[in-house]
Amino acid sequence: MTTGNFKQYTLTMRGRLFKLSHPWVMGIINVTPDSFYQSSRALDDNSIASRLKTMLSHGADIIDIGACSTRPGANIIDDKEEIARLRQAMRIVKDTAPDALVSIDTFNSTVARAAVEEMGADMINDVSGGTIDPHMPATVARLAVPAVVMHMRGTPADMQHFTQYDNVTANVLDELRQRLDTWRQAGATQLIADPGFGFSKTTEQNYELMAHLEAFHCLNVPLLVGISRKSMIYRTLGCTPDEALNGTTVLNTAALLAGAHFLRVHDVEPAAQARTLTGLIINSNN
């Protein structure tokens, strides 16, 4: 059992109680033609099925499917197109691995409702924390599924214009706390917080957040960290996203040691290995 900085929680999905007694690895499948990391894109049935099987065999606890890119500068697509992409992906998931837990990466409440009610999704991952579509908190409350509430200012198209903070850790914590309160007031009860690395933050601010990640446990909800192959890694190291796996594993390890509950990653096997080894370190200190 992992202890130390790790606080234990439970989530209910498909009528089952899941104990977060150890960190979960969330594997990314992007059914988009413009996601920043090309190798994460899966646009046809075979590539979706192949990526899914590989991630599950490597130890993914849940799969996160995105059908609308949220890379810096990305434009929002029509909800009908987003739903059509998700229908294709979810059909493959249900045919290939019907027991797999699936999160949907969307900030559109219409998409979220269709994904859960029609397609059988288990969780919603809203990178805007309900700020782009204010109907999202109430929608998730009615759907009665867990939701990731991420910190971002603005939209993916303009978020890097909103990086002014007095104190990035204190400000992000305060804004996340307010957003979690909004979701709770709408009736949502199973919430997960994500500081939003790379979203309306500079590279320096991202590392300051990572250095103070333990502070986010004061929100009293599970904590998700998504830094996989992001620019805070590849620009700092002077490499490309394709070459950023080592840096990703280093930061995932730091996040695990700080008590992260979810790692959202493109590469499941290295993240699962980091989880195993950091678990041995943490448990050896108790």
Domains of the chain: 23-284 (3.20.20.20)
Judge whether 281 and 243 are in contact, CB under 8 Å: no
Q: Return the pLDDT at 38.
A: 55
Whole-prediction pTM: 0.93
230 classed as catalytic? yes
Kind of pairing between the strands at 16-20 and 9-13: antiparallel
Q: Return the pLDDT at 283.
A: 84
Q: Return the pLDDT at 37.
A: 47
Catalytic residue among 71, 230, 235, 275: 230
Catalytic residue among 153, 229, 264, 275: 264
201 classed as catalytic? no
pLDDT in single tens digits along all 286 residues of the chain:
445 678 899 999 999 999 999 999 999 999 876 555 455 556 688 889 999 999 999 999 999 999 887 766 666 778 999 999 999 999 999 999 999 999 999 999 999 999 999 999 999 999 999 999 999 999 999 999 999 999 999 888 788 888 999 999 999 999 999 999 999 999 999 999 999 999 999 999 999 999 999 999 999 999 999 999 999 999 999 999 999 999 999 999 999 999 999 999 999 999 999 999 999 998 887 6
The Cα–Cα gap between 214 and 257 comes to 9
Q: What are phi and psi of 148, to 5 degrees?
A: -90, 125
